[in-house]
Amino acid sequence: MNTVLETKKAKLKSVTTKKTRMKKILSYLAFVGPALIFFIVIQIIPFFMGVYYSFTSWNGISSATEWVGLENYKKIFTNDERFFDSFMFTTKFMFAAVLISNIIGFSFALLLNSALKTRNLLRTAFFIPNVIGGLLLGFIWQFIFVRGFSAIGEMTNISFFQQAWLGDAQTAFWGIVIVFAWQISGYMMVIYIAALQGVDTSLLEAARIDGASTFTTLRKIIIPLILPAFTICFFLTISMAFKIFDLNLSLTGGGPFNSTQSVAINIYQEAFTNNNYGLGSAKSILFFVVVAIFTTLQVMLTKRKEVEA
The pLDDT tens digits of the residues spanning 188-212 come to: 999 999 999 888 888 888 888 888 8
Q: How far apart are the first and last CA of the chain?
A: 65
CB atoms within 10 A of CB 46: 11
Where is average pLDDT lowest: 10-14, 132-136, 163-167, 185-189? 10-14
**C-alpha 287: how far from its chain's center?**
14
Residue 96 has pLDDT above 90, yes or no: yes
Which pLDDT score is estimated for 183?
92
Q: Calculate the average pLDDT of the chain.
A: 87
Name all domains of the chain by residue range, CATH numbers in brackets.
80-308 (1.10.3720.10)
**C-alpha 156: how far from its chain's center?**
38
Which pLDDT score is estimated for 3?
63
Is it true that the peptide bond before 256 is cis, omega within 30 degrees of 0? yes
Residue 120 has pLDDT above 70, yes or no: yes
Alpha helices, DSSP H only, in the chain? 2-39, 45-53, 71-79, 81-112, 119-131, 134-143, 149-156, 159-162, 169-196, 201-209, 214-217, 223-225, 227-242, 246-251, 263-268, 277-308
* pLDDT band at residue 280 under the 50/70/90 scheme: very high
The pLDDT tens digits of the residues spanning 6-55 come to: 665 666 666 567 777 888 888 888 888 888 899 999 989 999 999 999 99
The amino acid that residue 36 corresponds to is L
* pLDDT band at residue 4 under the 50/70/90 scheme: low
The amino acid that residue 59 corresponds to is N
Which pLDDT score is estimated for 19?
74
d(CA 173, CA 165): 9
Task: Give the residue among 291, 274, 289 at the shortest CA–CA distance from 80.
Answer: 274
Calculate the alpha carbon distances from 222 to 203, 227, 230, 300 in Å. 9, 9, 12, 21
CB atoms within 10 A of CB 132: 12
The dihedrals phi and psi of 56, each to the nearest 5 degrees, come to -125, 175
Q: 68: Cβ–Cβ under 8 A, 6 or more apart, which residues? A: 55, 56, 57, 278
Task: Give the residue among 114, 85, 104 at the shortest CA–CA distance from 257.
Answer: 85
C-alpha dihedral, 245 to 283 to 255 to 105, nearest 10°:
40
Looking from the CA of 244 toward its CB, the CA atoms found within 13 Å total 35
The pLDDT tens digits of the residues spanning 124-134 come to: 888 888 888 77
Task: Give the residue among 83, 95, 106 at the shortest CA–CA distance from 193.
Answer: 106
The amino acid that residue 159 corresponds to is S
Question: Helices 81-112 and 227-242, interaxial angle, to 10°?
Answer: 150
Kindly report whether the global pTM for this prediction surpasses the value 0.95.
no
Which pLDDT score is estimated for 302?
87
Residue 281 has pLDDT above 60, yes or no: yes
d(CA 121, CA 41): 40
> Could you give the 3-state DSSP secondary structure of residue 78?
helix
Q: Residue 166 gets which letter from DSSP?
A: T
